[in-house]
Amino acid sequence: MTNARLIDSFLEMMSAERGASENTLAAYRRDLTDWGNLIGKKDLLTVGTGSLEGALAGWAKNGLAPSTAARKLSAMKQFCLFLQLEGLRKDNPAHSLRGPKQGRPLPKIMSEADVTALFDAAEKNTSAKGLRMLCLLEILYAGGLRVSELVTLKTTATNRRDNCLMIKGKGGRERLVPLTGAAQRAIMAWLEIRETTLPKNDIAKERAKTFLFPSASKMGHLTRERFAQLLKDLAREADLNAAKISPHVLRHAFATHLLSNGADLRSVQTLLGHADISTTQIYTHVLDERMRELVETKHPLAS
């Protein structure tokens, strides 16, 4: 069996038995293909621990981020375990491997002033695309959604009487996200003209009709990549550094701004859809870092 076929079998298992999303499967495919490219013509059914160690060393030499190397190693460990459980290998050559040491980087965030500037720029555009962009921003910043959760929203998600969105996140976990008044108004304005933005092609229209943000893309909805591009364009219009603005940075801003204004950590964890509160606690470190920087740069006795 070829390496490519082995990877396909693994991904089929991840999809059927673990319900992995398309994004997750695509990430596994990229990582496992990278392993295959680096170990050359070696068969994944016979490759040894030494070859895998060599691949890790090669990535480190080429400057691959420790976090990325750790993710690739995790993919290989799960893949080798799959081969072992399927009886295709007697051992797991990746079992004893350790990834590079890595510090946990603080998330990039935006100031509240920068977020305001972004919204001010969005509100100036009253075209259909402008109303869509403002709606996207309001929902993202109101609820701190992941970009994949945002672009795949169905129109039915906006029909709740409690002015909340029901979001299905990672691992199929559902959570309620309350909407601000501004977000509710932006959704209403967008829904009034949304029908006019549906694809003209019948097949594409059928694919897109259930999504809040329809598109002629093969998925039927606005893609993550397109939204990220539009967000950077908007950042430039707002005279912000577009290189530092992304959908995930806005999600970080949502969490950090809530905490800085007195929200408790458990509530923010629930809103973000984090399974473990330790993931949410990173935002308290951001606040600590900002406070330290403020004292060092603004305090009258700082030297």
The chain-wide mean pLDDT, for the chain, equals 84
Question: Catalytic residue at 170?
Answer: yes
Catalytic residue among 89, 146, 194, 207: 146
Q: What is the pLDDT of residue 228?
A: 94
Catalytic residue among 89, 221, 251, 252: 251
Domain(s) of CATH 1.10.443.10: residues in the chain: 112-297
Question: Catalytic residue at 98?
Answer: no
Question: Structure tokens of 179?
Answer: 């909407």
Catalytic residue among 170, 266, 285, 292: 170
**Region class of 215: left (phi > 0), else alpha (psi between -120 and 50), else beta:** beta
Element spanning 175, H or E? strand 174-178
pLDDT, one tens digit per residue, over 78-93 is 999 999 999 998 888 8
- Per-residue pLDDT, averaged over 12-30, amounts to 87
Q: What is the pLDDT of residue 107?
A: 53
Rounded-to-integer distance, Cα 47 and Cα 37, Å: 13
Rounded-to-integer distance, Cα 86 and Cα 185, Å: 54
All residues at 6 or more sequence positions from 202 whose CB lies less than 8 Å from its CB, including other chains: none
pLDDT, one tens digit per residue, over 195-222 is 999 999 999 999 999 999 999 999 999 9
Catalytic residue among 89, 132, 257, 283: 283
Question: Catalytic residue at 141?
Answer: no
Rounded-to-integer distance, Cα 253 and Cα 239, Å: 18
pLDDT, one tens digit per residue, over 119-166 is 999 999 999 999 999 999 999 988 888 899 999 999 998 888 888 888
pLDDT, one tens digit per residue, over 267-286 is 777 777 776 666 666 666 55
Judge whether residue 39 has pLDDT over 80: no
Question: Catalytic residue at 146?
Answer: yes
Domain(s) of CATH 1.10.150: residues in the chain: 3-85
Other beta carbons within 10 angstroms of residue 301's beta carbon come to 5
256 or 128, greater pLDDT = 128
The CATH code of domain 3-85 reads 1.10.150
- Per-residue pLDDT, averaged over 162-172, amounts to 82
Element spanning 168, H or E? strand 164-168
Out of 51-65, 84-98, 184-198, 288-302, least confident range: 288-302
Q: What global pTM score does this model have? A: 0.61
Q: What is the pLDDT of residue 210?
A: 95
* Angle at 297 (CA atoms; ends 296, 298), nearest 5 degrees: 105
Out of 45-49, 198-202, 225-229, 267-271, least confident range: 267-271
Question: Catalytic residue at 283?
Answer: yes
Catalytic residue among 29, 224, 226, 248: 248
pLDDT, one tens digit per residue, over 97-111 is 887 665 555 456 788
The CATH code of domain 112-297 reads 1.10.443.10
Q: What is the pLDDT of residue 268?
A: 74
All residues at 6 or more sequence positions from 57 whose CB lies less than 8 Å from its CB, including other chains: none
Question: Catalytic residue at 77?
Answer: no
